[in-house]
């Protein structure tokens, strides 16, 4: 594959499969104010010391190089990005980097209502809020103690301050919250938001525990059929991600399906990830990582690391093989999702 170059002659982040990378997901911390069952174990989770986090200066230095190589869109994630102190300041700094056109946030929504306005002013354009149950008792069970009313307040605040689009991330799990598919579909009818159903991924889990809870997303379409609803595919793309979107008849919003296990979308992968401790991850599922910390201050060395990460990117993540107990061609990551950022 011939290297693609920008008008100014800079080599762009195109990998050997021809995929152009213009999107960087940045995890600001592995710490979180919740403990979601699919993301972290109940006990034994070790969080990194604050001095292991990339500083704002270091994140900015990495993003400057990424922007030079064609990255245009950023998403801040975690852990919970809003537990990182002074996140509003960081957003202002990242938004001022030439080339950066869009800054998004993925959050559990617990602290979002209070910060929504400041985040919007600082330059966040869009938010994804994670919400796997609308029922307090179950929400507290999934998140190990969260208060669903805070997330719902954040949803309202996000609409009010004008984030666009506002998306909900709903991880569906077998025998856990699949009986709420109807309620989330109803939300997509009544509100101008995008409800994204996400397949539970085998990241950082013992495979057996995961397999029992994994639910393929054709269950959402089957539910629509059972309700006599015909979802129309929506041609428009609402962001940088892999979701396929549908609209129910007369709905104000849409619903999306993100099915990395039952039907991967790696052919369109456009993203790299930066962990809070400074590792570039070419693939969500694989172990390969490239530490940027020592290269910061040396632009050429940082550029080289981006291209090394790109070279290590697999054609697809092979998560489906975990379902069938098949051998993987690469080592899967040992990180939990909270240590990657989703």
The sign of the torsion formed by the CA atoms of 310, 313, 316, 319 equals negative
Integer-rounded Cα Rg, in Å, for the chain is 19
Q: What angle do CA 318, 321, 327 make, to 5 degrees?
A: 100
- Closest distance between ligand SF4 and the C-beta of residue 181, in Å? 20
Judged by beta carbon distances under 5 to 8 A according to partner kind, the member of ligand SAM, ligand SF4, none in contact with residue 77 is ligand SAM
Longest dimension (CA), the chain: 59
Does residue 341 interact with ligand SAM by CB under 6 A? yes
Q: Is residue 39 near ligand SF4 by the rule CB under 6 A?
A: yes
Rounded least distance, CB 107 to ligand SF4, Å = 8
Among 14, 27, 29, 108, binds ligand SF4 (CB under 6 A): 108
Among 339, 338, 342, smallest CA distance to 37 is for 338
75-113 burial: b if 16+ Cβ within 10 Å, else e: bbbbbbbbbbeebbebbeebbebeebebbbbbbbbbbbb
CB 285 within 8 A of CB 312: no
The residue within the footprint of ligand SAM, chosen from 87, 94, 116, 130 (CB under 6 A), is: 130
183-212: contacts with ligand SAM (CB under 6 A)? 198, 200-201, 203
What sign for the dihedral angle of Cα 293, 294, 298, 304? negative
Q: Among residues 148 and 248, whose Cβ is nearest to ligand SF4?
A: 148
| Binding test (CB under 6 A) with ligand SF4, winner from 154, 158, 188, 338 | 338
Question: Does position 177 bind ligand SAM by CB under 6 A?
Answer: no
According to CB under 6 A, which residues from 128 to 187 bind ligand SF4? 130
Of these partners, ligand SF4, ligand SAM, none, which one is at the site of residue 35 (CB under 5 to 8 Å by kind)? ligand SF4
| Of the residues 14, 154, 158, 169, which one makes contact with ligand SAM according to CB under 6 A | 169
Candidates 28-36, 51-59, 181-189, 274-282; binding stretch for ligand SF4 (CB under 6 A) = 28-36
Token reading at 138: 């179950």
The span from the CA of 49 to the CA of 177, in Å, is 34
Return the sign of the alpha-carbon dihedral for residues 211, 212, 214, 218. positive
Using CB under 6 A as the criterion, which residues of the chain lie in contact with ligand SAM when the complex forms? 32, 38-39, 77-78, 80, 106-108, 130, 169, 171, 198, 200-201, 203, 337-338, 341-342
């Amino acid at each position: 594959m011939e290297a693609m170059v920008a008008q100014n002659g800079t080599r762009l982040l195109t990998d050997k499969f021809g995929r152009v990378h213009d999107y960087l997901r940045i995890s600001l911390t592995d710490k979180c104010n919740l403990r979601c069952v699919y993301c972290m174990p109940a006990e034994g989770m070790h969080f990194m010391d604050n001095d292991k986090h990339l500083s704002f200066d270091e994140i900015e230095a990495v993003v400057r190089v990424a922007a030079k190589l064609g990255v245009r869109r950023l998403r801040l994630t975690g852990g919970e990005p809003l537990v990182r102190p002074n996140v509003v300041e960081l957003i202002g700094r990242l938004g001022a980097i030439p080339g950066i056109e869009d800054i998004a946030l993925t959050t559990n929504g617990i602290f979002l209502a209070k910060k929504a306005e400041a985040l919007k002013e600082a330059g966040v354009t869009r938010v994804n809020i994670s919400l796997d149950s609308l029922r307090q008792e179950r929400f507290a069970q999934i998140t190990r103690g969260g208060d669903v009313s805070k997330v719902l307040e954040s949803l309202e605040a996000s609409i009010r301050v004008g984030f666009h689009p506002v998306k909900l991330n709903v991880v569906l799990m077998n025998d856990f919250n699949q009986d709420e598919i109807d309620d989330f579909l109803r939300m997509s009818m009544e509100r101008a938001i995008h409800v994204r159903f996400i397949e539970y991924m085998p990241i950082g889990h013992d495979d057996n525990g995961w397999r029992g809870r994994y639910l393929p997303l054709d269950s959402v379409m089957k539910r629509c059929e059972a309700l006599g609803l015909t979802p129309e595919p929506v041609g428009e793309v609402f962001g940088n991600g892999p979701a396929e979107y549908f609209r129910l008849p007369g709905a104000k919003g849409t619903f999306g399906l993100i099915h990395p296990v039952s039907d991967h979308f790696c052919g369109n992968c456009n993203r790299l990830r930066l962990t809070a401790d400074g590792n570039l991850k070419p693939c969500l599922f694989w172990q390969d990582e490239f530490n940027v910390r020592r290269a910061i201050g040396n632009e050429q060395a940082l550029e080289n690391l981006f291209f090394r990460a790109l070279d290590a990117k697999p054609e697809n993540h092979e998560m489906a093989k975990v379902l069938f107990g098949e051998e993987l061609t690469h080592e899967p990551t040992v990180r939990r999702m909270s240590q990657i950022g989703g």
